[in-house]
Amino acid sequence: MKVHKHWIIVWNPAILITIAGLASATLGCTLALQQEMAWAWVFIIVAGLCDLFDGFVARGIQMNDNERAFGVQIDTVVDMASFGMAPAILYLNSGAFFWYNILIAIAYVGCAAMRLAYFNVHGLTPSANEGPPCYHGLPVTYAALALPFIYIIMLAFNMQQTDLLLSLMMLMLAIAFIRDIAIPKPVGKWIGILLLVALSEVGLLIWLR
């Protein structure tokens, strides 16, 4: 853990992975503005992978309470940028740009913000059946798998208009973010399944583009 003497920064390997995820999401937005949508979604998936693994690295690092608190806050800020704002930007560049698309993007971003704020206040809750602890509301990181899946469908079936499909997925995710449903934290084999899905989506996006 490094707290810089002259700068208000804290860094360690976990935070560097978190920032790498933010950089990946930023590249995704940049590519979306250039209409390189397949690659844009690839970098959103990479951001999701960074979010998946920064926690593993953080648990292997000795930190004091202040350092842990900093890690929680920067993780939330990066999640908001990477899985709140960035998907909305890609959505608005993936299909028709009408007034209702803007409203859907705003609703999505707002629900993502509320979901992240709720987690910062309440955190994880114990499972009722002695399983892994649970999130309440769908974690925003899942958008990094759900939305690229829709774009893969578009590429696979040569669909020219994905506005409806993407809009429906954005609305479903927004509702899931703030719906009080218990989502078990992925552990064990589920981590491997999520990794396999992410890598499969990356491969399909590159192959079908």
Give the residues across from 53 on adjacent strands: none
pLDDT at 5: 67
Q: What is the DSSP string of 74-132?
A: HHHHHHIIIIIIHHHHHHHTTS---HHHHHHHHHHHHHHHHHHHHHHHH--B--TTSSS
- pLDDT value at 6 more than 80: no
User: What's the mean pLDDT in 142-151?
Assistant: 96
Residue 42 structural domain: 2-208
Could you read off the pLDDT of 149-198 as tens digits, one per residue?
Answer: 999 998 898 876 667 889 999 999 999 999 999 999 998 899 999 999 99
CA distances from 162 to 43, 46, 91 (A): 19, 22, 10
Instruction: Count up the domains in the chain and report the number.
Output: 1
Asked whether residue 125 carries a pLDDT value surpassing 90, the answer given is no
- Mean pLDDT, the chain, rounded, equals 91
CATH of residue 104's domain is 1.20.120
Confidence (pLDDT) at 65: 79
For residue 140, give every residue at least 6 positions away whose Cβ sits within 8 Å of its Cβ, in sequence order, or none: 79, 80, 83, 84, 112, 115, 116, 177
Per-residue pLDDT tens digits for 16-33 = 999 999 999 999 999 999
pLDDT tens, 82-112?
999 999 999 999 876 788 999 999 999 999 9
Global pTM value:
0.93
Q: pLDDT at position 201, please?
A: 97
